[in-house]
A and B are shown apart, each in its own frame.
Chain A
Amino acid sequence: MKHIKTLETRDYRESMKEGGCGECQTSCQSACKTSCTVGNQSCEHKEKK
């Protein structure tokens, strides 16, 4: 495309198919302890595959 550059992202709709396994890190355990950020976390399901 000439006018648009799309960054590589995970498609949320697709993630419904294999998501929800719960192996990922609990968001507050990472460093914050006062804020909830999940966008920065990795999917463990993908890593396992």
Chain B
Amino acid sequence: MSSNPFESEEEPSTASDEILEGFLCPICRADLKSIDFLTEHFARQHAEEEDALKSVFKDIFTKAKKKILNNFEDDRERAVAGAPAASSNAGAGAAAGSKASNARTRFNVYNFMSRQTVGAERSYLEYFQTVRNPRLERYASETNKLIIRLHRLLKDLPMDAVQRKQHEQQTVPWLDGSSVKLCPNCAKSFHIARRQHHCRLCGGIMCHDCSRFLPLENAMQLASLSAIRSEPLHQLQQHEDRAIRLCQHCLWLLDTRQDMQESRTCRPLLAQVYEQIRQLQQDVTPDLEMYQKIVNSLHEGETIFTLADAGALRGKIGQVAEQIDLRSKRILTIHSEPGSREEALKKAIRLSCVQAIKERMLSLPPLPDEALIRQIQERKRMETEQRILTEQRMAMEAYERAGHTVGPSTIADQSSGSFAQGSDLQSLNNWSAPQAANTKFSVDDPLIEQINIIKGYIKQARQDMNFDVVETLELNLRELQREVYERQRNSQT
């Protein structure tokens, strides 16, 4: 950010020693994070500042804006539009190019998808939360209270009906029902046939029809009590005895809590297997890219990778594909109601797996065969030789023109440089290796030793299918070998 022109806007008189960075407002020195915010902020907050000041800043702003906007906009657009552009350009480019002259037709309009940013949007999440959250917090505290009470209620619940009632009343004070003539819920009057009942958690009054019952097993679970004491519970015969009488509101609060817990922890077999599939798909992506790279490199006639490499990688990808296939089939076998949404979901997952396998893994470009590669390499070698020859010729000519000013010393410089690179690599990869004896007069050339070591590494990396490493190592090896060759030639002359 050192080149950020906005820094210059700090007023020297008010500036403290501390150096601020970012999109600073020149007046209130707040960091506005982006140019858009800053201009907007400035226009809104400081619109009434003195005109003189304004004009000065306006000037700076327009200048700075011009300078920065170009960069920023480009970056942003590239980031957003890069992906769709790449995919659509390749295929249709040919069609567009060949027939562009014909104004009426043949211009694939689907090429122009690049450089478009996602449209305007407006989020209401904040407002939504300000309405929702206080409500939820109230519910949460209410529910917590209920659960604590439930816990106490259940902890030593006596079997005997009378004792039980006493225990319940001790835990939660019941409302005095003497002045309550009507059920608060359904507004029907209480009499001998419609007696008053109390919610065991809030103590509220209701009639029998408005009562709800929470089975004891569920209640234990909610109060996170273990089921050890469940034995005697089975002795309770009547339905009402095996449950806790609650009012609608309390039951609803408890239900909602249970629901939320469930949705947060719900991970059935289907979801687990699905996650495995996604993981596999993610893991195989770099392999697919690598394979593409290897095949390209083989077609280019380079010798960094061998045909065996590509074959091995292809095999590995095939295995992953098989695993994905297997797992998606397993998803299909998970039981679900016929005709249900779950069934449709399973089929859709299977379909997407089959698609992904077909399009990404099975449609890999085929490998060139041995003969073809040799042919390509041969051609490439010839081309290189040709090029080297011409280059040499040109170099000679240049050399003669320059009047023999360039000595052989430059070559020696180069050699030490690339040797350093070799040892860097060693430390970089953190593989333990015997330190090469770095004496000038040693019989074994340290370079050759280095080469051998690297060859070992390459072999190891190949076995691990670590083709990124293979690539870097191979390139380093090339350099070393060339180096040795140069040296030998130098020493001969």
Do A and B assemble together?
A: no
